[in-house]
Amino acid sequence: MGPTACGKSQLAICLRKYLPIELISVDSALIYRGMDIGTDKPTFSDLSSHPHRLLNIKDPIEKYSAAEFQKDVLKEIDDVIKLGKIPCLVGGTMFYYNILLHGLSVLPPSNIKIREFLLQNSHEKNFLHKKLELIDPVSASRIHKNDFQRLLRALEIFYLSGKNLTELKKYNNYQLPYNIFQFAIMPPDKEWLNNKIELRVKKMLSLGFQKEVEILFLRGDLHINLPSIRCIGYRQMWEYLEYKNSYQEMFNKIIYATRKLAKHQLTWLKKWKNLNKILYNPIPDILIQNILNVLKKNELSI
């Protein structure tokens, strides 16, 4: 784990030299085909030598629920173990990790009539978030006021079940039946991370990110409210292609959104239990040695 731009993928690839691991992606953006540059997906060369499971499994028009991820990742973990190898999960979608470790409550399916009812007044600023604060303040504190999809789902669950999301989670006795070691690459400081993010966005644009989004834009069946197009970078570039932003505004907004994501990831990691934090180092072997030392301390044969 770790905040965006910290080199998680490359470290996981390097780790394959030392351990018999199979890589499983834990990233809600890397699931989409044709979205490579903006998601910083491993290169074709890297994927040829170091395949990642749960990569490129959906078209951008498709949605992918947390429940689908839980089902898919558990199957991949089981398949890797059957091969006699170690599943190594790598990515930055902290919500997915949380689901994997703690499970999902049994929740009612989506209901279009309830959603239409909830959307009647959603044009009012922060209407959904204010409503959720009254019904479920705990969930409201965890869900950002602009996270439209999760706010809508949390309210929908209450109207369908009569219990809020926090109450339903109390009845969840799920436990992942594996011995787990958790590691996170941590940035040396905020300035370093901000600089890395800016460099990453500049590289993304130089590699042809605009052309990548133009291809999606011209398909004709995609729109800005799809989860795929709402991914960081894609939404901002989409708005630029719709002449809603200047190029410089688009660039600045991508950097701002990426820094905000990194801050959110670090907030998760600060509260994460049983986490081995590793300070970033440009030499992968130093990071890997830290990982191997933890495993050896736990008397695992390497």
pLDDT in tens, 68-125: 999 999 999 999 999 999 999 999 999 999 999 988 767 788 888 888 888 886 667 7
| Listed residue (63, 141, 74, 138) closest to 101, CA to CA | 74
Q: How far apart are CA 93 and CA 95, in angstroms?
A: 6
- Report CA 199 to chain centroid distance, whole Å: 20
206, 120: one domain: no
Q: Identify residue 25 by its one-letter amino acid code.
A: S
Residue 14 C-beta-side C-alpha neighbours within 13 Å = 15
User: Is residue 116 domain-resident?
Assistant: yes
| Domain limit, last residue, from 169, 202, 217 | 169
Contact 224, 234 (CB under 8 A): no
User: Is residue 214 domain-resident?
Assistant: yes
159, 184: one domain: no
Give the Cβ contact number of residue 2 at 10 Å.
23
Give the Cβ contact number of residue 241 at 10 Å.
16
Q: How far apart are CA 4 and CA 20, in angstroms?
A: 25
Contact 273, 294 (CB under 8 A): no
Q: What is the pTM of this model?
A: 0.81
Q: What is the pLDDT of residues 116-170, one digit of tens each?
A: 888 886 667 788 999 999 999 999 998 988 888 899 999 999 998 888 888 887 7
79, 51: one domain: yes
76, 120: one domain: no
41, 139: one domain: no
